[in-house]
Amino acid sequence: MIGIYLSAKNDKEGFRIPVNPPELPFKQDADGEEFQVASVGTVNVPKPMKLREFSFSSFFPSSDTHYAETQFVKPQEYLNKINEWMTNEEVIRFVFVGGSFTVNEQVTIESFEYQQQYGTADVDYTISFKKFVPFGFKKMEIAKKPKAAVKSTDKKPTEKLVKKQAPRENSKPVPQTYSLVRGDSLWKIAQKYTGNGANYKALQSLNGIKDSDLRRLPIGLKVKIPPEWAVKK
């Protein structure tokens, strides 16, 4: 059985519409926005849908009738309750059942028009609704900066002792040098310091000596000795 119910305050109060309307149209609009774009023309930018709106028209019978869906209630009681909800800005629940689709959602009453039928005491009315989406505002708290302490002018300023740091010693070892004499070679120097002439490559790399210069090193050339070799010696 088709029925329309309106209730408020968690269903603590409400009623069923006594006479079902002949139709129940719903309107759903999008919120697209049009813009003019050069060389293109008008374009439409889609945006989220607007809140759904719907309305219907019917009447409150002035006496008990066979076509009413509920027990008889005086039209004035319906009018008083709807006007009370609107005055108190109540969010109500709209329920439609028994048709091709079902509606059960919170709504607000956007408008309510009524008039007495000519020749009878029945009250014609048109009522419109808009979907309500619950929301809440978050309270913003502004953090206050702590007040700066007021310094007394009577106190003598204290001197801050700054400990001077001793200069850092250069921890990087300074390589020793060896002056070449006649008959010397990097092989002989490596043999002398490490006991293995094959270590001459370390000397060559440290001193930047090319392979082509290995056999013609000048007498008196100071060759840097790796620090670790000097310790072994």
What tens digit of pLDDT does each residue of 81-110 get?
999 999 999 999 999 998 888 999 999 999
- Domain harbouring 23, CATH code: 2.40.30.200
Enclosing domain of residue 185: 176-232
DSSP characters for the chain? --EEEEEETTTTEEEE-SS--S---EE--B--EEEEETTTEEEEE--PBPPPEEEEEEEE-SS--TT-SSS---HHHHHHHHHHHHHTT--EEEEEESSSS-EEEEEEEEEEEEEEPTTSS-EEEEEEEEE-----PPPP-PPPPPPPPPPPSSSPPPPPP-PPPPPPP--SPPPEEEE--TT--HHHHHHHHHS-GGGHHHHHHHHT--GGGTT-PPTTPEEEEPHHHHHH-
Residues 25 and 81 in one domain: yes
The pLDDT value given to residue 149: 66
Residues 10 and 115 in one domain: yes
Q: Is 228 contained in some domain?
A: yes
pTM above 0.75, yes or no: no
Per-residue confidence in pLDDT tens, the chain, 233 aa:
789 999 999 989 999 999 999 888 887 777 666 767 777 778 777 777 788 888 999 999 999 988 888 899 999 999 999 999 999 999 999 999 988 889 999 999 999 999 988 888 899 999 999 999 887 766 777 877 777 666 655 555 555 665 666 666 555 666 688 888 888 888 898 898 888 888 888 888 888 888 888 888 888 889 888 888 876 65
Residues 95 and 185 in one domain: no
Q: Is 164 contained in some domain?
A: no
Q: Is 157 contained in some domain?
A: no
Residues 44 and 124 in one domain: yes
Which of 98, 131, 164 is a domain's end point?
Answer: 131
- Count how many domains the chain has: 2
Which of 131, 151, 168 is a domain's end point?
Answer: 131
Residues 124 and 181 in one domain: no
Residues 108 and 9 in one domain: yes
Residues 20 and 84 in one domain: yes
pLDDT digits (tens, 9 = 90+) for 160-170: 665 666 666 55
Which of 131, 160, 190 is a domain's end point?
Answer: 131
Q: Is 104 contained in some domain?
A: yes
Q: Is 160 contained in some domain?
A: no
